[in-house]
Amino acid sequence: MLITQIQGKKPSELARSQIQHLTFDKIRKKWIIEDSEDQSYEYDEILERWVPTAEGEKHKRDSDDPEEAKLALKRMKKEEIEKKKLEKQNRRRPNTSIYVTGMPKDISVEELKDTFGRCGVIAEDLKTGKPRIKMYEDENGQFKGDCLIRYFRAESCDLAMEILDGTKIRPGDGEEMKISMAVFDEERTVKKEPLKFKDKLNVKKRIKEMNDRLADWSDSDSEEDRRRKRRKEYVVVLKHCFTLDELKEDPLAISDIK
């Protein structure tokens, strides 16, 4: 039966051999298909299924214009394409950036990275590998004391606001930090140039490295502590394998040990 082949499919998803059985009721604005069992089915857009027509009898094709059905099908496909494009445009990436004020004027990017890295992995520029930390300057090119920090994951923003907001980046020195989610101008659009093949490989490499660091991350460790731990992972110490007396008795054993 034709109905078993098309059930669950939209009219725009039917095969060419199935479309020839398709008609469009202009009055009821319904898609109707006829199977070989003297039965007609109409497509219910709410249920997204083909259901028997209200009359329960085969739909009369003579009252429908085949060309109108083709045009209606084209319109439907075009509308679905436009809908998918719109959904893609409206699909927003999660906000992973925080805005921080109250920074000492002499602070460095490394100090910021070390402090805020305790709350998560700081995102990196996918081309240069530099941390995504923007320090705002005044008209004279001097650091104003506020900055934008982008994390690799959105959850790190909540953790940073919970732990660091209202604290001093240097205990006993300077003013308290104020941390909030960064707000961007939605109307501003940045045209991105298409990446070359080599750039795409570098981007994948950077993302993999950040994912690896995310799996390794601990909020109680500084960046230096994490680097030290990674180095220690490759060191194995074997004890009590031999004695100095054994080496004196067999001088050639040292070569086997090495």
Q: How far is it, in rounded angstroms, from Cα 11 to Cα 33?
A: 9
- The C-alpha atoms of residue 244 and residue 255 are separated, in whole angstroms, by 14
The pLDDT of residue 107 is above 90: yes
Looking at residue 195, what is its pLDDT?
A: 62
86 Cβ neighbours under 8 A, 6+ residues apart: none
% residues pLDDT > 70 (the chain): 73
Closest CA to 32 of 57, 77, 82: 57
The domain made up of 97-231 is a member of CATH 3.40.50.10800: no
- pTM value surpassing 0.75: no
Q: What are phi and psi of 92, to 5 degrees?
A: -85, 140
pLDDT tens for residues 83-98? 777 777 666 678 999 9
Residue whose token pair is 């959105």: 154
Domain definitions of the chain by residue range: 2-90, 97-231
Most confident among 56-65, 172-181, 200-209, 229-238 (mean pLDDT): 172-181
